[in-house]
Amino acid sequence: MKKIALLKTKTQRRTKQQAYNSVKLLSSFVFLFFYVTIIFSQENKSYHLGNEKAFTQTFWNKKSDQVTLNVSKDLSYKGLITKKEGNLDTYSIIGSINNDDTSTFHITKQKNIISGHIILYKEKIAYRYYSDDINTVLIQEIDIHKVLCVDFEKINSKEVAINNASARAPILSSLPGSAYTVYLDFDGEVVSDTWWVNGGTINAQPTGYSDAKITEIWRIMAEDFRPFDINITTDRATFENTPINQRMMCIFTPTTDAAPGSGGVAYLNSFSNTSIDNPCWVYNNGTRSAGETGSHEVGHTLGLSHDGVPGNQYYAGHSDWSPIMGWSASKPIGQWSKGEYDNAITQEDDMAIISGNRNGFGYKEDDHADVISEATPIQLSADNTINPALHEALISTKEDIDIFSFITSGGEVNFNFDVDPYYPNLNIQARIISGTGEELAISNTTNNLGASINTTLAGGTYFIEIDGVGEGNVSNGYSDYASVGFYEISGSYTPGNNNQPPIANFEASIDCDQVSFSNTSINTVTSFSWDFGDGTTSVEQNPTHMYTQNGVYTVSLTATNTVGEDTNTKENLITINIASLPENINQSICSGDTTTVTASGSTGYIWYDSADSNTAIATGVTLDISNITEDQTFYVAGTTEPITSAITGIQDIPSNSGDIHQGGFNLVFDVDQPIILKKAKVVAQGSGNRTLQLIDATGTILETKTINIPDGENIININMNIPAGSDLEIGFLEEANLFRSNQGINYPYIVENIINIKRSSATTAPEGFYYYLYNWEISTLGGCKTTERAVVEINISDAPASPTMNVNAETNEISVVENYSSYQWYFDNQVIENATSSSYIAEETGTYNLEVFNNIGCSTFSENIEIQSLSTVDLESPENQITLYPNPTREILNIDGISNLEDKYSLKIVNSLGQTIMNRSDIPDTLNTSSLPEGLYFLLINNKLVDRFIKTVN
């Protein structure tokens, strides 16, 4: 149990000016701090320690407290268990290594998850215990700075000691009533059973600081954490009444047992620990250095890493600026950072991490609106001055803007905007603007980061806009990222009459063809008159209007009250781009065939299987349809923008990059605009149905879909609509038995302005796993879409009846009895080129067949026709004594022997495709072939083949 040691000592009091001089002297020193660090590869190999049950048994069933801590195949450390609590299901183990109080190990099990560390403080080496998603326990060497704040600068203060030190710190609280607490302990503490000194006892001595010094240190930290919903306090009772995972004790002491030689120390992410109350420590004893160190170490407990540069974990800043998670005690301004300065080794978003879900608290509620219509009125005293105590406020984020209003009868107006008088982080910019947002005056920045405005105004209603700004650029100054904190307003002006005519103003929000108008007029408007620029009007206060034609529209609002009226016209305010409805499609296909339907008439296209479905089945110009045996209707909507298709996620799946997994985990991703997840690649163990689930950041299920997945590697159709949002999750439920990767992962997987797959939902090492869905095929939804949908009729056509075939044995002609739309002949299952008529003259023995088509293109084959021998010529018959010459011929073909024929003979010339070229009842001696194309031709008399000839051009 933690004990309280209220040890009383006395120190000499010193003045605030002396403290200031000391800090000034300290800031004049040139700070240069080098350290040696281990350079880690992007992904250190993890060493398997067995399954969770076997791992637990090695610690829990031992009779001796001596343990061997394996960290690789060839390396282990001798450990001694100093504390063990719990049971096989939930436990905490703490111990020492090599009998060194600064080298320690700790292991916990909660909710079947193993976590912990080995820390070799002097060697600056650390290892991480963790269990994966199949309950295997692993250990991995990591950068010690990701676990513990080490080698933080130790500053020996030259501040003059104070005789009357405080026996008990004054009760100070920055946010009474908050559910989250950071307790600043100055009066000594007995700390036992934590991760410090192997679970042993630290008898931390009191600081001996005066009330004034304690108050100054508290002020530094209170201002640093002012944007957040957390109480920085010296009240022990508040700490004791706060749950363990919502509080942190920050101990200020000269007792450096936890990290000898350091200026302070803390475990990363210890604030949210639910099993053990690990305090953080501050050893630097100068007023400024103690306060900045306190914020630094508490920042670590909230999950922040160091702000450094190559060769130095603790960047001391530049000009007047420095980062709190570097070294911020020697510059006038110390702010949270996201690594915007030159050569930063980390770009983590400090403020987002502090306010994130892990710690449980966020930002304070916004105290003043950022729109004119909800401005906070300035309160004047009887002497026309502004009481600053009634106008205290907070800029909490870079996006936060505060708006105040005032009414003057005209004349000189004077405003002062003062930041925290002690240790400000906020750099103020103030503007006076009109009711329509026009800038009338802007502040002059003063040396203490505050601002002022002195100007002359006509009588009327005006607004003050307060914003946090940066200075210079990130190389020689700082951005507005963490220009946040306390400010107050003072000044004077001559008040005006509250009965003012209206100042008309409004805003518009465009959603495709529908526009929502918001009235932002001021001065008690009693009636409204809108003109939407398309011939329609409204008298509603906040109307919604639907435009029916594309174009650019000018909108005006006339606001009226009992004093007067005002009209505000905004030229070319609204641009409407309505999607065009695609053309209807009526297409016939053959039963069971595959076809592609092509849309036209719009910019982009979204396809649906019903008229009112909200789930798209495809996007883009074409829709692929397969294996349809009945008539079916689809629908297609038009969009204002082209559809963008992309591939994301891990593309290939190396078999050695992971294992088959039971399911239950997800990929976490952000979507910038609505998309459809069309397809993905998976590897399944066994075929069957699996359940895919999409959830939002709050855990709400957005869609669930059952997908039948075959065994092995497959591309699966998903067609899931995904809305824009952050921290969405998608994955298969339990018993999925699908492949997931635990190697070769390189988050994030980004398609610019569309999607960012950023991690997995694994509790430990979320960036070390990739779950189930590979090679995502996605597409955007093309902006605005038509409210109506074009109809796509797919009509099924049956195949034509099987053809009836005739074979003329004398002429070797094969023909079909019925008429069809088109034909294709085959010989020995090979296409005969250009043989597309209803008959064909066989030239070789073998198997012939015919494919016949209807007008849709559906086809049927004839039975095979076997030509075993070609017809022979009867040499005795007169027609077989006919000779053709010249052969080949270019023009005139002579027919010799024609006089031997009897009457009533007919002559026919047929080409090689079986097409009749000439048919005559008389038989001439010569034929003019000049009109015939080149090729082989057959001469038939009385339908008997007489001879062949070749037509040539040259």
- pLDDT tens digit sequence for 118-136: 999 999 999 999 998 888 9
Residues 566 and 589 in one domain: no
Residues 189 and 68 in one domain: no
Q: Is 367 a member of any domain? A: no
pLDDT above 80: residue 925: yes
Task: Determine contact, residues 661/724, Cβ cutoff 8 Å.
Answer: no
Rounded to an integer, what distance in angstroms lies between the CA atom of residue 397 and that of residue 483? 8
pLDDT above 50: residue 27: no
User: Tens digit of pLDDT for each residue in 504-523?
Assistant: 999 999 999 999 999 999 99
Residues 863 and 884 in one domain: no
Query: What does the radius of gyration of the chain's CA atoms come to, in whole angstroms?
Result: 43
Most confident by average pLDDT, 413-422, 795-804, 936-945: 413-422
Residues 299 and 186 in one domain: yes
Q: What's the pTM value of the predicted model, to 2 decimals? A: 0.74
Residues 395 and 285 in one domain: no
Q: Is 249 a member of any domain? A: yes
3-state SS, residue 18: helix
Which residues make Cβ contacts (< 8 Å) with residue 292, sequence separation at least 6? 220, 324, 327, 328, 329, 334
What's the pLDDT score for residue 166?
63
pLDDT above 80: residue 249: yes
Residues 838 and 773 in one domain: no
Question: For residue 841, which of 939, 743, 918 has the smallest C-alpha distance?
Answer: 939
Q: Is 346 a member of any domain? A: yes
Question: For residue 282, which of 260, 264, 295 has the smallest C-alpha distance?
Answer: 264
Q: Is 385 a member of any domain? A: yes
Tokens of 579: 């999607």
The domain boundary, picked from 747, 780, 813, lies at 780
Residues 120 and 178 in one domain: no
What's the pLDDT score for residue 33?
29
Q: 538: domain CATH number?
A: 2.60.40.10
User: Tens digit of pLDDT for each residue in 596-643?
Assistant: 999 999 999 999 999 999 888 889 999 999 888 899 999 999 999 999
Residues of the chain with pLDDT > 90: what percent? 75
Q: Is 788 a member of any domain? A: no
Q: Is 22 a member of any domain? A: no
Q: Is 486 a member of any domain? A: yes
Q: Is 41 a member of any domain? A: no
Q: 461: domain CATH number?
A: 2.60.120.380
Q: 215: domain CATH number?
A: 3.40.390
Q: Which residue segment(s) compose the domain that 863 sits in?
A: 805-867
pLDDT grade, residue 34 (50/70/90)?
very low
Residues 761 and 851 in one domain: no
Residues 331 and 377 in one domain: no
Rounded to the nearest angstrom, the gap between the alpha carbon of residue 184 and the centroid of all alpha carbons in its chain is 38
Q: 933: domain CATH number?
A: 2.60.40.3080
What's the pLDDT score for residue 450?
93
The domain boundary, picked from 538, 559, 576, lies at 576
Beta-bridge mates of residue 671: 725, 755
Number of domains in the chain: 8
User: Tens digit of pLDDT for each residue in 3-18?
Assistant: 333 222 222 223 333 3
The domain boundary, picked from 466, 492, 518, lies at 492
Query: For all residues of the chain together, what is the average pLDDT?
Result: 89
Most confident by average pLDDT, 56-65, 157-166, 857-866: 857-866
- Residue 620's φ and ψ, nearest 5 degrees, are 110, 180
Provide the b/e sequence for 3-42 (b: ≥16 CB within 10 Å): eeeeeeeebebbeeeebeebbeebeeeebeeeeebeeeee
Rounded to an integer, what distance in angstroms lies between the CA atom of residue 866 and that of residue 719? 51
C-alpha dihedral (912, 914, 919, 921), degrees to nearest 10: 100
Residues 350 and 206 in one domain: yes
User: Tens digit of pLDDT for each residue in 271-314?
Assistant: 998 889 999 999 999 999 999 999 999 999 999 999 999 999 99
Residues 182 and 135 in one domain: no
Residues 817 and 758 in one domain: no
Residue type, 678: K
Quickly count: other Cβ atoms within 10 Å of residue 698's Cβ: 6
What's the pLDDT score for residue 160?
54
The single-letter DSSP state of residue 379 is P
